[in-house]
Amino acid sequence: MAKPCTIVWLRRDLRLEDNPALCAAGRIGNVVPVFIWSPEEERQFHPGRVSRWWLKQSLIQLDVSLRSFGVPLVMRKSTDTLGTLQELIKATGATQVFYNHLYDPISLVRDHHVKQGLTQSGIQVQSFNGDLLYEPWEVLNDDGKPFTSFESYWQKCLNMPFEPDSPLLPPRRLTSIAGSIPTYTPEELGLEDETEKSSNALLARAWAPGWSNADRALEAFLAGPLLEYSRNRHKIDGPTTSLLSPHMHFGEVSVRKVYHSVRRLQLLWAKDGSKLGEESIYFFMRSIGFREYSRYLSFNFPFTHERSLLSNLKSFPWRVDEGFFKAWRQGRTGYPLVDAGMRELWATGWLHNRVRVIVSSFCVKFLQLPWRWGMKYFWDTLLDADLESDVLGWQYISGSLPDGHELDRMDNPQTEGYKHDPVGEYVRRWLPELVRLPTEWIHHPWDAPPAVLRAAGVELGSNYPRPIVEVAAARERLRQAVAQMWEQEAALKAAGVATDAEALDENLEVKVVTPPLVSTHSLKTAVAGTLSRSSLRDQRVPTCGKQLSMENGVPHEGDNSPDIAMSPQQDNLLATTAPPEAHSTAEKCDNKSMNCDQTPEPKHNVPPPAVSDGNSTAESSSSPKQVNDELRNGVPLVWVPSIVNQQPVVEPSCVPYAGDAGQLRKHLLALQNSRTENKMEEKSPLSEWRRRTKRKAKA
């Protein structure tokens, strides 16, 4: 009797170890692993250059590993994933399709569409949890509703009655069908242009994509930086974090393996009484929790990639200023720490988490640019670009989450610079034009005496820009914007317009919303009925509510317009700042931000008119016609100014970027050397701890 054939549809689970879909298929019979590259289906979230480079290298290694098992990886390029899977089913005679869950809004709808189409064709479809410790529908509050704050969510996870499943071993063997299946090579997928290869070659000096390299990166972190993670996690100049995020995004190492590996060390350090180790594991586990929470929010609130979770931020007057956006992208804001971070991002595709917070806070609080612009730029440029984590980070910074930063909080880059880069080494590495500036002035060169600037070769406004906006002026504009937001909310109530809290009573039964990225046809398809062959292990898909209303071809997000139906816990949430009347007249400065800085700075022109959060594209004269056409066709997208033709800033010799080796090569080699296992094994804190433990045991 012939063995049944199963197609394993791989996406962001490019590993052999702890791959539930692959292991389940291997136990049943013949296996056909398939990867389908479909950039058109990704729409505006088509991966950026460095992300596509990583994907290509990971596919090459996975193909080699699978071939060693006797099962080649079938790679296809397509504009229709469902059609391609149906072709492969016909060619292989497969009767089943297995895949692991994804939780971003695009994948939620695509997976449902694929599953429905295959099931109607008589193909058995089964999906598995390969990306989370707990599925989103397993973690609910006492009322059976999703959590809307991280602390309550994470406490629920830590107090679950059962531990996350242990990671699975790689399959002992895999069997393939007789004959060969036409496949693409990684080069033929078109993941890397010829013009990008010279820049991408530098990335290979610091990073090693692939699932086996991910295991080595995890072992190096556990043997070295983890023990002092609580002390060093905010140091921005050096590999003080795990550097696992790109590996985890592409599924080269599972979160369950990371979790259980860390838990084993936690038990050992607790037994040995290592307070430092226990504290480090506490903070590292929280970072894992934030990754879990990002997928949790994306699943339960699929609109958050496009709209704020807090309802009253619909009225916040974001500013459309492509000049400010360009200066921020290119690292020409006049604030050294922000500029250094943005130039490192452009050069390497990587940023320390603390620097990500600082540059994103500057974008939305100082410049008041729409947070979705920054989110999309991070998606285009980060090596570990992850939609769910991007959404969580930017909504958190912009004050769009109930437990996020206060809406009127401003973190001063000068204060943050001396806190996280006290001697200015990070700034000098990425801003060579300031390399001779004394540490006293490195984070605020505009205050330096003229003689000091001349001696350092710094000419403000020439080889290094003056601050793009004054701190005091930015603080005042933010205060006015918050006041304007509350005034608009009050005006709507006074006019008798129902707020979200009042209008949602009739929709209490609607649990989740439909991702607004899909067309009207896709929305109708997603609710065509429940599948007859569903499984408790299969991923659940949000039901659909109302559709976005359209005004002049642009999706509108007003309180008095028909909108996607939401339950109270989704959109009836208040901002993290009280209305103006709730504050005292004295301005309070957050202890984590600048302490009432009043440094004299040059005057600047008033920014352009503001637009609301619900429609940040309507006022822009440069919005591409193609995007407007797609919007009229029922595919609401988030427009951001074009960054395709971004070039290095005026002084190429002063800015390390992917086309110039210089400082970049030094940075990448430093990262590579820091991850060498031999050095870590000889002098790592964990090795010292092990030696002390052995001596104690002998005594």
Residue 431 lies in a domain: yes
Specify whether the CB–CB gap between 597 and 472 falls below 8 A. Answer: yes
Letter for the amino acid at 669? L
Hey, what long-range contacts does 457-460 have (CB within 8 A, 24 or more apart)?
Answer: 457/433, 458/433, 458/434, 460/334
Rounded average pLDDT per 10-residue block, the chain, 699 residues: 88 96 94 94 89 96 93 94 95 95 93 95 95 95 93 95 92 87 92 87 89 94 93 86 94 96 94 92 96 95 88 84 95 96 93 94 94 94 93 91 86 92 94 95 95 94 94 93 88 69 30 31 34 37 34 35 30 36 37 36 39 38 37 40 42 35 46 46 53 60
Burial of 479: CB neighbours in 10 Å, binned 0-12, 13-18, 19+: middle
385: annotated binding-site residue? Answer: yes
Q: Per the structure block, which two tokens stand in for 267?
A: 């038990």
688, exposed or middle or buried, with CB in 10 Å at 0-12, 13-18, 19+? exposed
Alpha carbon of residue 548 to chain centroid: 25
- 284 marked as binding residue: yes
Q: Is 245 annotated as a binding residue?
A: yes
Written as six digits, the tokens of 511 are 């649990």
**Cβ neighbours for 256, distance < 8 A, ≥ 6 positions apart:** 18, 133, 164, 165, 166, 167
Contact 22, 31 (CB under 8 A): yes
What is the phi/psi pair of residue 612, to 5°? -80, 160
- In the numeric block, which tokens belong to residue 119? 């099931």
The last residue of one of the domains, among 130, 152, 177, is: 130
Sign for the CA dihedral angle at 335, 577, 378, 307 comes to: negative
Q: What local confidence, expressed as pLDDT, does residue 360 receive?
A: 96
Distances (CA, A) of 637 to 10, 451, 518, 634: 26, 51, 9, 9
Could you tell me if residue 250 is inside a domain?
Answer: no
Exposed / middle / buried, residue 605 (Cβ in 10 Å: 0-12, 13-18, 19+) = exposed
**How many separate domains does the chain show?**
2
Domain span including residue 75? 5-130
Extended strands (E) in 105-249: 124-128
Longest dimension (CA), the chain: 88
Provide the CATH number for the domain around residue 428. Answer: 1.10.579.10
Q: Do the strands 74-77 and 30-37 form a parallel or antiparallel pair, or are they unpaired?
A: parallel
Q: What are the residues whose beta carbons fall under 8 Å from the beta carbon of 236, sequence distance 6 or more?
A: 352, 354, 355, 420, 421, 426
Does residue 414 belong to any structural domain of this protein? yes
**Helix, strand, coil abundance in the chain, percent, nearest 5:** 50, 5, 45
CA 277 from centre of chain: 28
Tokens representing 602? 């040059």
CA-to-CA distance for 357 and 371, rounded, in angstroms? Answer: 12
Q: 411 lies in a domain?
A: yes
Can you tell me the distance from the alpha carbon of 452 to that of 456, in angstroms, rounded to the nearest whole number? 6
Q: Which two tokens stand for residue 286?
A: 């929280």
Q: pLDDT at position 240, please?
A: 85
Query: Which is it for strands 554-556 and 549-551: parallel, antiparallel or unpaired?
Result: antiparallel
386 annotated ligand binder? yes
The H or E element containing residue 147 is none
> Residue 240 annotated as binding?
no
DSSP 402: T
Measured in degrees and rounded to the nearest 5, phi and psi for residue 287 equal: -65, -35
The domain boundary, picked from 600, 616, 632, lies at 616
Please tell me the predicted confidence (pLDDT) of residue 572: 32
Of the candidates 183, 142, 177, which has an alpha carbon nearest to the alpha carbon of residue 71? 177
C-alpha count within 13 angstroms, C-beta hemisphere, residue 281: 20
Nearest to 13 by CA among 154, 90, 121, 111: 111
- The verdict on whether residue 439 carries a ligand-binding annotation is no
Give the whole-angstrom CA distance, residue 304 versus residue 573.
Answer: 13
Q: Is 520 annotated as a binding residue?
A: no
The confidence score (pLDDT) of residue 688 equals 62
d(CA 223, CA 683): 10
Q: Would residue 198 count as lying in a domain?
A: no
- Confirm whether residue 148 is marked as ligand binding: no
Count of positions (residues) in the chain: 699
Q: Is residue 292 part of a domain?
A: no
CB 329 within 8 A of CB 646: yes
Flag whether 664 is in a domain.
no
Q: 134 among the known binding-site residues?
A: no
- For CA atoms 481, 484, 490, 495, give the dihedral sign: negative
Residue 517: C-alpha distances to residues 24, 117, 459, 631, 641 (Å): 32, 20, 47, 10, 19
Residue ranges of alpha helices (H) inside 224-370 are: 229-232, 245-249, 255-272, 275-300, 322-330, 336-348, 353-361
Decide which of 78, 111, 130 is a domain's last residue. Answer: 130
The owner of tokens 């979230």 is: 45
Phi, psi of 128 (to 5 degrees): -135, 160
**402: which 2 tokens?**
């109930």
- Residue bearing tokens 């990684």: 186
Q: Which amino acid is at 687?
A: S
Residue 306 lies in a domain: no
Question: In 132-204, which residue ranges form alpha helices assigned H by DSSP?
Answer: 150-158, 197-203
Residue 678: phi, psi to the nearest 5? -60, -45
Q: Quick check: 11 and 107 in contact, CB under 8 A?
A: yes
Is 279 within 8 Å of 232 (Cβ atoms)? no
Residue 242 identity (one-letter amino acid): S
For residue 622, the 8-state DSSP code is T
- How far apart are alpha carbons 56 and 52 in whole angstroms? 6
Instruction: Please state the φ and ψ torsions of residue 550, each to the nearest 5 degrees.
Output: -120, 130
Tell me, what CATH number does 106's domain have? Answer: 3.40.50.620
Burial 649-660 (b: 16+ CB within 10 A, else e): beeeebbbbbeb
Token pair for 671: 């990262």
**538 annotated as a binding-site residue:** no
